[in-house]
Chain A
Amino acid sequence: MESALQKDIDLNRELQYLNLAIDTVRLDAISQKVASIRQSQEKEQKVETAAPAILRNMYKISLRVAAIIVLFFCVASVYKYSSVSNQSFYNKQFSGYELSNSRGNEIHTAQEDAYQNNKWNEVIAIYNAEANKSNQQSFLAAMAEMQLYRFQNAITLFENLLNSKSVDTTYLEESEYYLSLAYLMNHEGNKAIQMIHKIQSNPNHTYYPIVSKFSSIDLKIIELKNK
C-alpha cells in the first residue's frame, strides 16, 4: 500500500485530502463540545454573581444595627449563601446509580454491561437503537447523559419515562430523584426543589431516606438563587 502511494502521487494526494477532511470534522466536533461546556460555565457564573448584591445589602443592614452578634450572624450567612449553589449541591448529592445493587447475579444485557463499564455513549447508542424501550433502558440512557454533563438530554429522557403511563413501573422513583439533580444542573432550580419536596412528602419513596436529610437551609438558598 505504502509503495503504491509513493508511486501514484495522485492517489497519495487524494488520501491526504481525505485525511485532512476527516481531521477537520474531528476538530469541529471537539470545538462544538468545548463551546457547549463554555456556555454551561458562563450560565453558572451568571447565577453565582447574583450573590454579592444581596450580600452587600445584608452587610449594610447589619452595620446599621451595629450589633456584633448580628454582624457575626450575617457574615456566617453570607458565607453559607455564597457557598451553596446548584453546582455545589449537585456535587454533594450526586453519585452514579449502582446497577449491580438491583440486578443481583442475573445475566447482564449489552446496555447494562456498557453502563457498568462507564461507556456512556454506548449506553445511549444502544438505547437509541432499541425499538421498544423499557423503563430501565430509558433510565440508564438518562444516567449516561448525566455522566456526560448533557443535562437537558437527561431531563427529556427522565420526563418521558415519568410521563409514559406504561405498565412498567420500575425506575420511576429513581428517575424522580435523579431528575431533581438534573434540573439543578440545568438551571431549573425551582423544578428541582418541587421534585425534592415531592419525594420528601412520601416516606415510602425509595429515596426518602436520602432526600429527608437534605439541609432545608441549602434548599432555601437554592430556591432564593433561582428566583
Chain B
Amino acid sequence: MNKKIGFSDSELVKAIREKEMLEPAILQLYRDHAEITRSFIKGKGGTDQDADDIFQETVVSFIDSVQKSKFRQDSGIRTFLISISKNLWYNEIRRRQRAGNRERLFEADRDQEDSGVQEIIQDRELKKQLNQLLQDLGDSCRKILELFYYENLSMKEIVLHLHYENEQVVRNKKYKCLQQLTDKMKLNTLAARQINELINK
C-alpha cells in the first residue's frame, strides 16, 4: 500500500487522466506550483485573491487538457501551468481595463507560442457562461449529472448516493436535467457559434 505523496510529472499526468488519484494529484499541483504563479501574478499587480483565483482556474484548465489528451508532455507541467496563468491574468487585466480600471497591460510578455494554451484562453468565456447555465439548473440536477457523466456511477449507485426512490426516478430526472441544460445552451450565442463551427468543419 503506498503512502505516497510525490508523483513525477508523468505519474501526475497518469493520475489525472485515470481520475482514481485525482485529489492527491491536485494537492501536489498546489504544493509544487501554486507559489510560483502567485508570485508572478502579485508581481504584475494582482492581489492574493487574484492569484488564488487564477491558479484555481489554471489547475481546472490543466486537468481538462490532460483528460482530453490535449496536454503534450514535452513542455513540462510547470511551464504549461505558468503559461496558462499568465494568459489568464493578462485577459483578466484587459477585462478590468474595459470595465474602467486603470491597470496596465503587459502584452509584451504575453505567451503566444503554445497553441494548447491559446485554445484554453479562447474557450474561457464560453465555459464560464455554460457553467452558469449548469448552476442555474440547481444542485440536484448538477449532482445527478455529475455522478452519471463524471463519476460514471450506475443508476443503482446514484439511487444510493442521492436517496431517490428507485432507478427509474433517477433515469427520468437525469434525462430532464440534461434536456434543460441543452435547451438553455441552444439559446446561448457563443455556444451556438461554436456548434456551427464544429458542424461546418
Q: Which residues of A contact B (CB under 8 A)?
A: 9, 12-14, 16-18, 20-22, 24-35, 37-38, 40-42, 91, 94-99, 118-121, 125, 128-129, 147-150
Partner of A37, one of B1, B23, B199: B23
Tell me how far the C-beta of B25 lies from the nearest C-beta in chain A, rounded to whole angstroms. 10
**B77-85, B107-115, B165-173, B180-188 - interface stretch:** B180-188
Partner of B157, one of A119, A128, A150: A128
Partner of A27, one of B2, B64, B156: B64
Q: How large is the interface on B (under 10, 10 to 19, 20 to 34, 35 or more residues)?
A: 35 or more
Q: Which residues from B are CB-within-8-Å of A119?
A: 20
Residue of B nearest to A24 (CB): B130
Q: Which residues from A are CB-within-8-Å of B151?
A: 29, 121
9 further A-B contacts with Cβ under 8 Å, apart from A27-B131, A28-B134, A149-B27, are A20-B182, A20-B195, A24-B130, A30-B60, A38-B52, A94-B3, A96-B2, A98-B1, A147-B24
Q: Which residues from A are CB-within-8-Å of B194?
A: 20
Partner of B131, one of A17, A24, A120: A24
B134/A24 in contact, CB under 8 A = yes
**B39-47, B86-94, B98-106, B141-149 - interface stretch:** B141-149
Most buried by B among A29, A99, A119: A29
Cα A17 to Cα B195 with chains together (Å): 7
Cα A18 to Cα B181 with chains together (Å): 9
Q: Which residues from A are CB-within-8-Å of B117?
A: none
Partner of A25, one of B23, B52, B146, B198: B146
- Ordered by A's residue number, 12 sampled pairs between the chains whose C-beta atoms are within 8 Å are A25-B146, A27-B60, A28-B146, A30-B63, A31-B56, A31-B60, A37-B26, A96-B2, A128-B157, A129-B160, A149-B24, A149-B27
Q: Which residues from B are CB-within-8-Å of A149?
A: 23-24, 27
Cα A32 to Cα B157 with chains together (Å): 20
Residue of A nearest to B6 (CB): A91
Residue of B nearest to A117 (CB): B20
Cα A31 to Cα B186 with chains together (Å): 23
**How many residue pairs between the two chains, A and B, have CB atoms under 8 Å in the bound complex?**
119
Q: Which residues from A are CB-within-8-Å of B181?
A: 21, 24-25
Summarize A's interface: helix, strand, loop or mixed.
helix
Q: Which residues from A are CB-within-8-Å of B59?
A: 34
Tell me how far the C-beta of B6 lies from the nearest C-beta in chain A, rounded to whole angstroms. 10
Tell me how far the C-beta of B201 lies from the nearest C-beta in chain A, rounded to whole angstroms. 11
Q: Which residues from B are CB-within-8-Å of A118?
A: 2, 20-21
Residue of A nearest to B131 (CB): A28
Known contacts A27-B60, A33-B26; is-contact A91 B2 (Cβ 8 Å): no
Partner of A128, one of B5, B19, B161: B161
Cα A20 to Cα B198 with chains together (Å): 11
Residue of B nearest to A17 (CB): B182
A129/B157 in contact, CB under 8 A = yes
Tell me how far the C-beta of A48 lies from the nearest C-beta in chain B, rounded to whole angstroms. 13
Q: Which residues from B are CB-within-8-Å of A18?
A: 178, 182
Q: Which residues from A are CB-within-8-Å of B149?
A: 22, 25-26
B64/A30 in contact, CB under 8 A = yes
Residue of A nearest to B160 (CB): A128
Known contacts A31-B131, A33-B26; is-contact A25 B2 (Cβ 8 Å): no
